[in-house]
């Protein structure tokens, strides 16, 4: 791949699950199991996948509308139980490390904006030895969850990059709406939680169908 263009974006923020980390199917199964554990009706795969990217409390509440509010703490605990049992089973998508290294070599600042908890993200970063590849990160439990723009606004302020020089990359409409709300450009990926047809109204610059597609587009256009 040839780096033929001047840098357009100084900051590139990535969603985590379903964008860098191949975790979508596991999250769906864990949501379904957690809801059943507390007596709710098992959500469909599509319904469970749609809430990925939201903060955990909001995601579980939307996936289990028949579960009473007083059971939400138990619901969250059961989700974490199932996820922790299998979190070491999942890995980065092929090509992610090479992509991040290539972007870093071009001088981009890299960050993570995720619906995960701080504890969950730190554990994932340590597991895949990625911590040093990102200048900063924000999680749903330390700021507002997606699609509220606060995550990106805080990252832009911390890293001193304006909205017009910031790009958000994610696999859900929540990620792309986050970018739109923050005044940033976005790129969607079709290999995660949401169907790419749902991205159309959110005006992404590109929809990548693989990590190699994403890498090529970024090196030629970002």
Predicted local confidence at residue 84, as pLDDT: 81
Predicted local confidence at residue 29, as pLDDT: 85
Please state, in angstroms and rounded to a whole number, the distance separating the CA atoms of residues 133 and 103. Answer: 10
Q: What is the pTM of this model?
A: 0.75
User: For residue 90, what pLDDT band results from cuts at 50, 70 and 90?
Assistant: low
| Contact in structure between 186 and 15 (CB atoms under 8 Å) | no
For domain 11-23+91-221, the CATH class is: alpha beta
Range list for CATH 1.10.150 in the chain: 24-89
Please state, in angstroms and rounded to a whole number, the distance separating the CA atoms of residues 5 and 222. Answer: 8
CA angle 153, 51, 159 (to 5 degrees): 15
Of these ranges, 19-28, 72-81, 124-133, the one predicted with the greatest mean pLDDT is: 72-81
Q: Per-residue pLDDT averaged across 165-188, rounded?
A: 96
Flag whether pLDDT at 149 surpasses 70: yes
Flag whether pLDDT at 203 surpasses 70: yes
Lowest mean pLDDT across 2-6, 8-12, 25-29, 136-140: 2-6
Q: 216 vs 50, which has greater pLDDT?
A: 216
Predicted local confidence at residue 89, as pLDDT: 64
Range list for CATH 3.40.50.1000 in the chain: 11-23+91-221
Q: Which CATH number among 1.10.12, 1.10.287, 1.10.3470, 1.10.150 corresponds to the domain 24-89?
A: 1.10.150
């Amino acid at each position: 791949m040839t780096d033929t263009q001047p840098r357009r974006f100084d900051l590139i923020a990535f969603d985590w699950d379903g964008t860098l980390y191949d975790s979508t199917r596991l999250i769906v199964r864990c949501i379904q199991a957690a809801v059943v554990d507390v007596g709710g009706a098992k959500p469909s795969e599509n319904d469970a996948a749609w809430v990925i990217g939201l903060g955990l409390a909001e995601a579980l509440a939307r996936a289990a509308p028949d579960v009473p509010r007083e059971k939400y703490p138990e619901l969250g605990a059961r989700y974490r139980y199932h996820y922790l049992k299998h979190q070491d089973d999942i890995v980065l998508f092929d090509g992610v490390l090479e992509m991040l290294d290539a972007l870093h070599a071009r001088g981009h600042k890299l960050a993570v904006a995720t619906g995960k908890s701080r504890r969950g993200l730190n554990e994932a970063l340590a597991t895949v030895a990625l911590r040093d590849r990102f200048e900063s990160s924000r999680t749903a439990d330390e700021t507002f969850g997606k699609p509220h723009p606060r995550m990106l606004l805080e990252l832009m302020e911390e890293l001193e990059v304006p909205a017009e020089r910031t790009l958000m990359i994610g696999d859900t409409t929540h990620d792309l709406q986050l970018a739109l709300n923050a005044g940033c450009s976005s790129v969607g990926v079709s290999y995660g939680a949401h169907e790419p047809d749902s991205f159309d109204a959110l005006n992404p610059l590109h929809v990548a169908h693989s990590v190699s597609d994403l890498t090529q587009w970024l090196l030629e256009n970002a």
